[in-house]
Structure 1
Amino acid sequence: MMSVKKMNAKFQGGSLSDCEIQGATLQNAMFEGVAMFGADFSNSDLSGSEFYMVLAMGASFSNAILKNAKFAGGSYKDVDFSNADLSGAIFTSDNMGGYVDLSGADFSGAKTDKALFESAVYDNSTKLPAGVAMAGLSLKAP
């Protein structure tokens, strides 16, 4: 496990696959073209971070703070966003395919217009944007 505290960090290309970066502070970081297969960012503060063309299969952002984060052109298959704070986040042209866990996540104020949330699951504590029902979401059994 890594202990990381870095503001405005830039990650371009390369791989963070299988990295355990729980509890990191990486506010306003930029991740561009990065592979994150099996990476663990649980309990990390990634507020204001930008994720462009990221491949994050099997990654965990459980309990992460992703307020006002921007996601564009990435693929998030089998990713855990449970209990993550995604308030104000923007998702454009992202593929949230496979089993994506949104249980307890806070999407209040998020923009998800062009994202595909196919086979994603949520529960009664998930906060969706006002007036939005994300296509493809399934209610997780208690």
Structure 2
Amino acid sequence: MATRALDHQERRVPDLRTRTSALLAAASLTASFLGGVAIREDGLSVFAILALAALVLTAGFALAVLWPAQLLFAIDPEEMYAELYDDRDDPAVYLRRAANALREAHAENLAKLDLRDLWFRISAILLGAQTLLWALALAVS
């Protein structure tokens, strides 16, 4: 079961990266189109400055998601053998320690992936705020 959980986590990473890349592209396009018109018509209004701040924060959180993370999805057999060698004569202890190592890797990965999921959600909220702020900048111009 622990190896399946690690496999599931390994599939989560490219999915999260793909969604984050799309969100970053959407933030850039929103700023380019709405921001370009808003700034051209009214200059750097309060709403435009807030929208630019939302863009920077969106990009920052998105880049944090995309930044490489130290995640463990497979155990090095040589390393595991060396670690468990002393328990080779007691299969129950050997297997329990091996399972615990996989469970610990899963728990460490889960914490890192959950944090990246949170950063993605914050980026999505900021993208919504950016879009709203650009719309407000256009409405008051």
Larger relative strand fraction: 1
Class of the TM-score when normalised by the shorter of the 2 chains: under 0.3
Q: TM-score, normalised by structure 1?
A: 0.15
Rg (Cα) greater in structure: 2
Q: TM-score, normalised by structure 2?
A: 0.16
Larger relative helix fraction: 2
